Amino acid sequence: MQVIRRTLDFLYLCSGIVAALCLISILVLIVAQMVARWTGEIFPGAPDYAGYAMAAASFLAFANALSRGAHIRVSILLNAVPAGIKRLLEIWCFAIGAAVAWYFTYYAYWFVYWSWKFNEVSQGQDATALWIPQSVMVVGGGLMAIALTDNLFHVIFRGEHRLTSDTVEQSHGE
């Protein structure tokens, strides 16, 4: 079990790192496009690539953000009810979240598959095969589904979720 736990935590961390790299690539693309404009050159497809990187950053950050407690959770009700009811509510919330994430990932997979099958390309100057940037949506959605399922099982078998609250401590300094 310890190997699975470390593997999942490493996977969530890696997805967060790749999401951060996507944000850096957006910065690089924007600066490159600005330099190209100043020098009278053209950087075809830069806005499209920046959009792909933004989508990748968003989807890849989901699992890492969940494991670090950065997703918005309204816990007023959870803090006001007894422990038994709180556990049932958390099981219900994680079950609904996991079901929606798995549902999304399933249909996102078929969306990407049909984009690949029909050789869809972007409408922009880059003419990128759309299944390439769309596949990040499947990976990020799958990681989010795994993270929600991981927390669901943890609540069921251990009685509490694995979400950390380090963002709460950080917000007190603002």
Residue positions counted in the chain: 174
pLDDT value at position 174? 46
Q: Taking the model in full, what pTM does it have?
A: 0.84
Per-run averaged pLDDT (10 residues), the chain, 174 residues: 88 95 96 93 88 94 86 76 87 94 97 95 86 94 95 88 61 48
pLDDT value at position 165? 67
CA-CA distances (angstroms) from residue 158 to 56, 91, 120, 153?
A: 33, 11, 46, 8
Domain ranges of the chain: 2-161
